[in-house]
Structure 1
Amino acid sequence: MGGFRALLQKEWREQTRNFKMLWIPLVFIIFGILEPITNHFLPEIMKSVGNLPEGTAFQWPTFQGEDIFVSLLGQYQFIGMLIIVLAFMGSISGERKNGTATLIYVRPIAFSSYFISKWLVINVVVLSSAWLGFIGAWYYIGILFNAVDTGAVIGFIATYSLWLIFVVTVVLTLSAALSTGGTAGLAIVITLIYPLVDSLIGTYWTVSPWKLVPYAADWFQFDVDRTDLWLSMGVTVIFIILLMLFGIFMSKHNAAKTTV
């Protein structure tokens, strides 16, 4: 237990030293705040800089607070996924390459503790960043648009949080199994490209981890059957556990590749 606590402290110091504890939350918060502010003032901005002929009627769709949350979700699905992949793709493979892992592997520490300590700290960084971004958006949505049902917002954030945990697990497992470059490429395919494919042909199946993002947006609709959501959440938890087990195995399997 003492070794696991030491690994947690090491990971926390590393994230702090690399300023990931600062810049990742800042990015999520900035996007969270800008989304409602931009959508509120965009009609006026377009009128002033749109160079429209005099007398032209400018019609802009009326957004509700729920629409802003869904729009922000789209921002996080692109910018947020890139941040997670690029920030943490070398979490394990990078330590193997630069030899840092040698200082850990020679100690009597279980590979499960090594992997899980990274998994926990990275999830704390990612989830707290996303939560702060959503809370910032929620505050300005309430001021500039309309009050959004608290239960719907909590369900929305909780569902998306499980997706974020899945993404973190994918990135960390790939980092344990592959090189840093290989992790980046495959993680982008899994977290950015495949969801686009799923949105096009995913009508043939309704249960998978990649369905969590659209199902998160469904929390703002109160007459939706959530059976597929609960099944997708269950499947995602199973995927996360299996990926973690595989990541622990690959961390041990590739330990011999560590640069000395």
Structure 2
Amino acid sequence: MNGLTVLVQKEWREHTRNFKMLWIPLVFIIFGIMEPVTNHFLPEIMKSVGNMPEGAEFLWPELKGEEIFLSLLGQYQTIGILVIILAFMGTISGERKNGTATLLYVRPMSFLNYFLSKWIVVNGIVLGSVWLGFMAAWYYIEILFNHVDGGEIFAFVATYSLWLVFVVTVVLSLSAWLPTGGAAGLAILITLVYQIIDSLIGTYWTVSPWKVSVYASYWLEADSELTNLWMSSGLTVILIGILIVFGVVMSKRNAAKTTV
């Protein structure tokens, strides 16, 4: 059982059986479709149900495709992150609580492989879901709005993917350290609440993992300065590595707490 490949296959089968392979991509795809479609037909919806006086005109701003992508990014930054936390907060702590981890711990298993197998599969699900969501949005934006350059979109989504890897690593490392409830609460604090704090007082610093999602939007803006993006990305990669080490250590240290 020490092989990383075997553990990855085990995680893949488990997430397939609990339908996370299905419903998580569906959530992101539905949001990806709804954002451009809703914004396109919203003026007509407002006219039909807005109870406006006869003869009154409601002027709706004309949105561009780039603005739709940023609006969708805002949806993913709140609801999407919450979905990720709630879906995977018990990935490691849940196995300790229900005793299924005992079947793994009694074997000569590498805890590095154990943690990495979960990290690889969860990131695969999350990144695949988000990319599918953005690609669905891109399809409808091309039909209903204007053309957006493919290179800009892929750079935008790839940069945002780094932030998502950071979020997944935070969730898994906290799940290795704390019970499921504590992991969920602290993950929400670190990823969602601190994100709000950073948006309020973050003008005092320019390099932060919580700014990677903001800097991702720079790819959709002409002549944007990307120095802070590269520095924040580098810091984020370093923190991801530290969190992986922390998660491995906590997985090994808390193995004795597994319910038998």
- Between the aligned partners of 2:78 and 2:204, the Cα distance in structure 1 is 24
State how 1:153-168 maps to structure 2 within 5 Å: 153-168=153-168
Aligned-pair CA distance for 1:124: 0.3
Aligned residue in 2 for 1:125: 125
Aligned residue in 2 for 1:143: 143
What is the CA deviation profile of residues 12-58 of structure 1, one whole-angstrom value per residue up to 9, with x for unaligned ones?
A: 00000000000000000000011000000000000010000011121
2:2/2:109 contact within 8 Å kept = no
3-state DSSP of counterpart to 1:76: helix
3-state DSSP of counterpart to 2:3: helix
State how 1:3-152 maps to structure 2 within 5 Å: 3-152=3-152
- Between the aligned partners of 1:18 and 1:63, the Cα distance in structure 2 is 39
What is the CA deviation profile of residues 67-109 of structure 1, one whole-angstrom value per residue up to 9, with x for unaligned ones?
A: 0000000011111111100000000000000111110001111
- Between the aligned partners of 1:66 and 1:224, the Cα distance in structure 2 is 14
3-state DSSP of counterpart to 1:108: coil
TM-score by length of 1: 0.99
- Between the aligned partners of 1:6 and 1:57, the Cα distance in structure 2 is 63
User: Percent identity at matched positions?
Assistant: 70
- Between the aligned partners of 2:45 and 2:218, the Cα distance in structure 1 is 30
Aligned-pair CA distance for 1:217: 1.2
- Between the aligned partners of 1:91 and 1:115, the Cα distance in structure 2 is 10
Q: For residue 4 of structure 2, what is the amino acid of its counterpart? A: F
- Between the aligned partners of 1:95 and 1:118, the Cα distance in structure 2 is 12
2:115/2:248 contact within 8 Å kept = yes
Cα RMSD of the aligned pairs, angstroms, is: 0.9
Structure 1 residue 187 and structure 2 residue 187: aligned? Answer: yes
Aligned-pair CA distance for 1:2: 6.2
Aligned residues: 260
Q: For residue 178 of structure 1, what is the amino acid of its counterpart? A: L
Aligned-pair CA distance for 1:227: 0.2
Q: For residue 155 of structure 1, what is the amino acid of its counterpart? A: A
Q: For residue 256 of structure 1, what is the amino acid of its counterpart? A: A
Structure 1 residue 239 and structure 2 residue 239: aligned? Answer: yes
What is the CA deviation profile of residues 98-127 of structure 1, one whole-angstrom value per residue up to 9, with x for unaligned ones?
A: 111110001111000000000000000000
Q: For residue 118 of structure 2, what is the amino acid of its counterpart? A: K
Q: For residue 114 of structure 1, what is the amino acid of its counterpart? A: Y
- Between the aligned partners of 1:224 and 1:218, the Cα distance in structure 2 is 6
Unaligned 5+ segments in structure 1 are: none
2:160/2:216 contact within 8 Å kept = yes
Unaligned 5+ segments in structure 2 are: none
- Between the aligned partners of 1:187 and 1:109, the Cα distance in structure 2 is 27
Aligned residue in 2 for 1:219: 219
- Between the aligned partners of 1:92 and 1:39, the Cα distance in structure 2 is 40
